């Protein structure tokens, strides 16, 4: 079945460092790909998405490109801030009317001032 | 936040007792979902609904039942709670024209 694998955390960086969180997927067909973010004590928020190969999703300085050839959707940000500290989830949406989502296990990111 | 509320937000209960969690939406979306979040597992789908009285199982449905008697409410019931059901439960909705899901604030359930 479909699955998502993302790098394990926790990841700790200094403020203004470059961020990459790796995500690869296995899927039949052509799923949509997502990054969700969960701030402490809160629910999940959609960070960005891409619906087809070579699409780039972007939001709040974060970017991810849908790479079909490497089945990847890595999350990047050029200069992180303390406020980016959160848990990040990579996910895919199955090709069905219900669009069931398969999540990765999450990566906890901590940013040092 | 797509108008999603969950109640209660926190609950502590004892093994063997029934528990019902409620998800309420204000925008008449057709699709609603229940997930559980556990460390190391991300979120896993329990059940989902695609309309009033229309539901289907997800990846981890054993020990859970759901009901949807009206569009705005999707109930998750643990008939006899077990300690393995201690978790954070999230409800989500999907807009009809996209495949993007939007999540509620979550319910933290502790089964002693």
For testing contact with chain A, the best of B46, B68, B101 (most A CBs within 10 A): B101
Closest CA to B6 of B58, B65, B76: B76
Q: Tens of pLDDT along chain B (112 residues)? A: 568 999 999 999 999 999 999 999 998 899 999 999 998 888 999 999 999 999 999 999 999 999 999 999 999 999 999 999 999 999 999 987 888 899 999 999 999 9
Note whether A89 contacts B90, CB cutoff 8 Å: no
Instruction: Give the model confidence (pLDDT) of A1-45 as tens digits.
Output: 889 999 888 999 999 999 999 999 999 888 999 999 999 888 899
H helices then E strands: how many in chain B?
Answer: 0, 11
Q: What is the pLDDT of residue B33?
A: 96
**Residues whose CB is less than 8 angstroms from the CB of residue A102 and which lie 6 or more positions away in sequence, other chains included:** A2, A3, A4, A91, A92, A93, A94
- Residue that has been written with the tokens 């079909």 in this structure: A68
Q: How far is A18 from chain B (nearest CA, A)?
A: 24
Q: Count of CB atoms within 10 A of residue A74's CB?
A: 18
Residues A38-95 pLDDT 10s: 998 888 999 999 999 999 999 999 999 999 999 999 999 999 999 999 999 999 998 7
> What gap in Å lies between CA A80 and CA A75, rounded to an integer?
12
End-to-end CA distance of chain B: 31
DSSP per-residue letters across B33-60: EEEEEETTTEEEEEEEEEETTEEEE-TT
Is a pLDDT exceeding 80 seen at residue A96?
Answer: no
A49–chain B nearest CA distance, Å: 8
User: Is B86's Cβ below 8 Å from some Cβ in A?
Assistant: no
């Amino acid at each position: 079945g479909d699955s998502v694998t993302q790098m394990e955390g926790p990841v700790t960086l200094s403020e203004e460092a470059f961020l990459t969180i790796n995500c690869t997927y296995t899927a039949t067909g052509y799923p949509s790909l997502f990054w969700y973010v969960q701030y402490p004590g809160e629910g999940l928020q959609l960070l960005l998405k891409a619906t087809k190969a070579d699409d780039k999703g972007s939001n709040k300085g974060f970017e991810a490109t849908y790479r079909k050839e490497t089945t990847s959707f890595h999350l990047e940000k050029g200069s992180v801030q303390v406020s980016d500290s959160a848990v990040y989830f990579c996910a895919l949406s199955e090709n069905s009317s219900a669009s069931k989502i398969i999540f990765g296990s999450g990566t906890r990111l901590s940013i040092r001032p | 936040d797509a108008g999603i509320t969950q109640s209660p937000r926190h609950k502590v209960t004892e093994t063997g007792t029934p528990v019902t969690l409620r998800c309420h939406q204000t925008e008449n979306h057709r699709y609603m979902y229940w997930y559980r979040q556990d460390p190391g597992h991300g979120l896993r789908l329990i059940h989902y609904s695609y309309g009033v009285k229309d539901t289907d199982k997800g990846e981890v449905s054993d020990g859970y039942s759901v009901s949807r008697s009206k569009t705005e409410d999707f109930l998750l019931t643990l008939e006899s709670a077990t300690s393995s059901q201690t978790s954070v439960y999230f409800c989500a909705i999907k807009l009809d024209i996209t495949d993007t899901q939007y999540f509620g604030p979550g319910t933290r359930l502790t089964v002693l």
